[in-house]
Structure 1
Amino acid sequence: MTTALTDSYVHAATRWLPGQTRRDVEAELRERIADTVAARGDSAAAEREVLEEMGDPLLVAVEYTGREPRLIGPRFFMPWLRLLVLVLVIVLPIVGTVHIITGVTSDDAIATTLIGAVGIMISAAIQIAFWVTAVFAVLEWSGAGEGDVTERWTVDKLPAAAATRSGRPYGETIASLVFLAAMAFLLIGQQTSSPVRIDGESIAVIDPMLWGSWIPIVLGLIALEILFTLWVHVKGWTWTAAGVNTALGVAFAAVTVPVLKSGDFLNPELIERLGWNASTLDQVTQGILVGVLVVTAWDVIDGILKARRASR
């Protein structure tokens, strides 16, 4: 009997193992689970019972490989990893967005602002990783909760088991919603009250003429992306969701690429104030175009991979 629950358990147990070791452990573990479940009646209840008796999947991986984590032992490794990933996914986009908004409102160069955002996100990630790790290391070294962690483990703690209830992890959903809201805010804000100032004067980055065409369409696509994000959070990734995600990505590229190629994307007044010649403008536009295509392709491929994993 192979179900999503078993798949989730095997994935959690083997996801951090290297290539061939991962494949070997996965095959042995699946066989062990299947044989034990079959001996107990081959039912969903039997499967759940077997998995909970086996306990934390990381401990099972340690059992098969003999590689016990040293800094954060097996009792706390998975809680540490889940909390660390959740905090990073939620905090880093917020930190980066706040820095970008602050930078563009203080007359900083766009390149400097973006580089600074990357730097501060890396710094925040290091700080978060250090303090979260320090707390769990102290718990491990002090022996807190000795003997209790494994007993409390249930299949509901599996990442995919939680996803079955909500469709998509909360951290990923929150990060997506924050990013989309920031995009909409910046798109509208730079037109109505642009944070980019030259000689004390606020100047829109995107050509104001695009208010009659491109900007409303993109805002509509952002609204659809928000609805799509909430839908995936509830239903999870499916091939239908991957198809919708691809359609949204292609739609964004389809309305953005022609505008970039036409050279009518950036505000002519901003270009004049910055003193850009035709060559500089072309380089900037080409850079934005490549960025749009790369991000769109990555998003489409990521959706397909997630649907493929979920279908397994």
Structure 2
Amino acid sequence: MNTLTERYLAATLRSVPLQRRDEIATELRASIRDMIEDRAGGGQDATAAERAVLTELGNPDLLAARYADRRLQLIGPTYYLVWLRLLKLLLSFIPAIVGTIVAIVDVADGKGFGAIGTGIVTAMQVAVQIAFWLTLTFAILERAQPATSLPDWTVDQLPDVPAHRDISLADTIASVAMAALTIGYLPFQHYRSWVNGTDGENIPILDPALWSFWLPALIAVLVAGMVFEIVKYRIGRWSWTLFGVKAVLDLAFTVPLIWLVLTDRLLNPALTDRLSWLAEPENRNTLGAVIAIGAAVVLVWDLIDTGLKTRRQTT
């Protein structure tokens, strides 16, 4: 159910200790029911009574703090919840965006795999700066305008009861991380691979000529796949539309990969100078067939698995 009472309970319980949620939920639900019945017994409409009771109980975050015996005084009770909400919002995307931009710029400058570390450090520094300056701003505001009153909380601000998710956060993180590692490896192998020439120079695993089109195109598909995983998680369950988008993205990555392998355009021709077994056409063909078959099997298995999940969640 998605009644005001259930939404109020969900908003309150999300901020209390997990081990006490059942106890608090039972107690709070009974209290709300009794208060509504008292008002309804006096002739008040049940719907109006429910709104009046929840309004009287007040902001669920404040109620949760009382249940958890948690003091809201980092900044001060007047601005604490506003500060916390804004801090969470800013930290949810700004450090990641800045860190990603820095990493991309470093990759373009030829820093290779080390750009990932620079991006992570930059993101952490941005997060610290946001936390410091936002806290300082609210601390000054609290002391400069102690009498400022914020808008009163109303039941209309209650979020909906969180829907059951058929797509887990762990799976989403794993998929995004795998795509990010693949994207990071493509430029990394160009500057640092496990094969070196006779004079110690790096020999990329993939044909450098692919950077003229195919590797940027595959990276674009991987980035689109990362965005898709995030959108899919936000939606919370599979649909046939999502299945179709995933199928297109999978095909857009796997089909070019198989074509490049079977036409002997994927691996760097310079590898044959250091790996003598690759100089034999039969060995190259065997390796290409193994890679192509493996990619095709992964594609088919992924589509079948996704199709079964979609069918199960849409019926």
Q: Offset at 1:102?
A: 0.7
TM-score with structure 1 setting the length:
0.55
Q: Pick one of 41, 46, 60 that aligns with 1:42.
A: 46
* Separation in 1, partners of 2:57, 2:36: 12
Closer, same or farther: CA 99–70 of 1 in aligned 2, 3 Å: same
Closer, same or farther: CA 139–208 of 1 in aligned 2, 3 Å: closer
* Matched residue, 2:166: none
* Matched residue, 2:127: 125
* Separation in 2, partners of 1:220, 1:114: 15
List aligned pairs for 1:70-89, cutoff 5 A: 70-89=73-92
List aligned pairs for 1:39-118, cutoff 5 A: 39-40=39-40, 41-43=45-47, 45-110=48-113, 112-118=114-120
* Separation in 1, partners of 2:77, 2:209: 52
**Deviations, residues 217-271 of structure 1 (Å, cap 9, x unaligned):** 9489659949x94xx89xx846565x75577557756775798899959953499
* Separation in 2, partners of 1:27, 1:107: 60
- Structure 1: segments with no counterpart, 5+ residues: 165-178, 308-312
The count of residues paired between Structure 1 and Structure 2 equals: 249
Q: Offset at 1:11?
A: 2.9
Query: In 1, are the aligned partners of 2:9 and 2:25 still within 8 Å (CA)?
Result: yes
* Matched residue, 2:28: 29
Q: Offset at 1:209?
A: 10
Same amino acid, percent of matched pairs? 27
* 1:8 matched to 2:11: no
Q: Offset at 1:121?
A: 0.8
* Separation in 2, partners of 1:34, 1:129: 41
Q: Offset at 1:123?
A: 1.2
Query: In 2, are the aligned partners of 1:206 and 1:267 still within 8 Å (CA)?
Result: no
Q: Offset at 1:47?
A: 3.1
* Separation in 1, partners of 2:276, 2:121: 30
TM-score with structure 2 setting the length:
0.55
Closer, same or farther: CA 217–70 of 1 in aligned 2, 3 Å: closer
Larger relative CO (CA 8 A, sep 6+): 1 or 2? Answer: 1
List aligned pairs for 1:1-312, cutoff 5 A: 3-38=2-37, 39-40=39-40, 41-43=45-47, 45-110=48-113, 112-140=114-142, 144-145=146-147, 148-149=149-150, 152-160=152-160, 207=210, 211=214, 215=218, 218=221, 225=228, 229=231, 237=235, 239=237, 245=242, 252=249, 264=261, 268-269=267-268
* Separation in 2, partners of 1:29, 1:240: 34
SS of the aligned residue for 2:93 comes to: helix
The structure 1 segments of at least 4 consecutive aligned residues displaced by more than 6 Å after TM superposition are: 196-199, 203-206, 257-263, 275-278
Q: What one-letter code is carried by the residue in structure 2 that aligns with 1:89?
A: S
Q: Which one has the largest radius of gyration?
A: 2
* Separation in 1, partners of 2:93, 2:112: 27
